[in-house]
Amino acid sequence: MNPVRIYSISLGCPKNRVDTERMLASFDPAFVPAESPRGADVVLINTCGFIAPAVKESVETILELADDIADMDPRPVLAVAGCLVSRYRDELIPEIPEVDLWLKTLETDHWPEAIAKALGRPVYEPAPYERALSTGPSFAYIKVSEGCNHACSFCTIPSLRGRLASRPLDVLEREARELVAAGVPELVLVAQDLTAYGMDLGHKDGLIPLLERLLPIDGLKWLRPMYLYPGGLTDRLLSFMKDAGRPLLPYFDIPLQHSHQDILQSMGRPFARDPRIVLERVRKYFPSAALRTSIIVGYPGETDAHFAALVDFVREAKFTHLGVFGFCDEEGTRAHDLPGKVPADVIEARRNELMAVQQDISAELLASHEGLDMDVLVDRPHPEWEGLYEGRVWFQAPEVDGITYISGPDVASGRLIRASIEEAQDYDLVALA
């Protein structure tokens, strides 16, 4: 049987990427990645539909690839999957008739069957831990759960991905062991709310049993938890994490979204008190923790005073990494019906101001590492400079944080290299092995 040549694009979050990798594994051992859509039997686009810019990017990508393969004979199967489909499938079907398959996020278990049927091929049924990795040799994501039980006023995720559905411990452990055995040094745990893992399965302190399964895996260098909701960072969990030590990284990605209680309550955040409380709690156990958060500016009702308090909070907190997003007024959310909308130009000005504040903080924090010897996990060769590689130190998460440029005689993708930090930039480091 000839292999299936699949050209795939995964837009949006790491959870989407994991869904794509599992779908690709469903054609193993008869799957070959295609280098371009014109060399493919299947063109798969896993879309994002979270906010308007992501919707625009997804639709433009679909139209571009549909046009690219329009004159091919035979023409590849064009399959569009993911959150855009979950949100707008009925509206999109008559608008883009070139698409052969529309696959919703909550139908991921049936994606392989639908694509195989369109190709006239039998379905290979992979084990639930099998993946066709697309992240390179240095790291892999592990999606520990699907969906979310929170009801934040600005968010469309629960309507797209459903309520919390945790994956079984045995499956996650097997998936992690398979990845590490294949040579992956870093595992990044992702979920909509990582600290909620296991609640739907009846596990108490569900993240602790998961960490207990993963931390002893031989060969695992770094284990990085992402999307740790503030309310889930209990003293019990933090005490466990402190005692566990490496390979668990003291990296805390805590999506706060704002600092002012008025805005947090309107947002319907599950932790709507002073966010300083959770930051102080983390730093009690991890004084040198790397802290990352995301902030929304321009939420309905955000006054100049609210924003000024937010700026003061960011200056005080000194986050290692900060993502700032302008509020997107999404239909179907509670926030869409709120009064007090902030003009677009004010939202952009506030975003720019907050990012300028963070730029100074980041530059100051990174400068403190100049002259130190640190481990650098090498991701890939630099696309333009021969002999230069892109990598990360422990407080830089893949794809969302700054990077470390590294060169030296033993540097290679996937290796953990001891190097001297020669230079600190605003967001990146330069190292010499």
Of the two residues 373 and 331, the one the predictor is more confident about is 373
pLDDT at 316: 97
- Its pTM stands at 0.92
Domains and CATH numbers, the chain: 4-119 (3.40.50.12160), 139-367 (3.80.30.20), 373-432 (2.40.50.140)
Check: CB of residue 186 under 8 Å from CB of residue 139: yes
**Burial (0-12, 13-18, 19+ Cβ within 10 Å), 207:** buried
Q: Which is more confidently placed, 145 or 122?
A: 145
Q: Angle, to 10 degrees, between the axis of helix 304-317 and the axis of helix 276-285?
A: 10
Q: Band the pLDDT of 231: cuts 50, 70, 90.
A: confident
Tell me the C-alpha to C-alpha distance, in Å, between residue 281 and each of 236, 291, 397: 11, 12, 22
- Residues 82-108: tens digit of each pLDDT: 889 888 888 888 889 999 999 988 787
pLDDT in tens, 252-297: 999 999 999 999 999 888 766 789 999 999 999 999 999 999 999 9
Tell me the backbone φ, ψ of residue 398, rounded to 5 degrees: -65, 140
- What pLDDT is stored for residue 158 in this prediction? 72
Count the helices and strands in the chain (H runs, E runs).
12, 18
Both tokens assigned to 414? 């996937």
Range 317-339 average pLDDT: 91
Which of 38, 52, 51, 50 lies closest to 82, judged by CA? 50
Task: Say whether pLDDT at 28 is over 90.
Answer: no
pLDDT of residue 69: 93
The beta strand positions in 34-149, using DSSP E, are 42-47, 77-82, 101-104, 139-143, 145-146
Q: What pLDDT sits at residue 210? A: 96
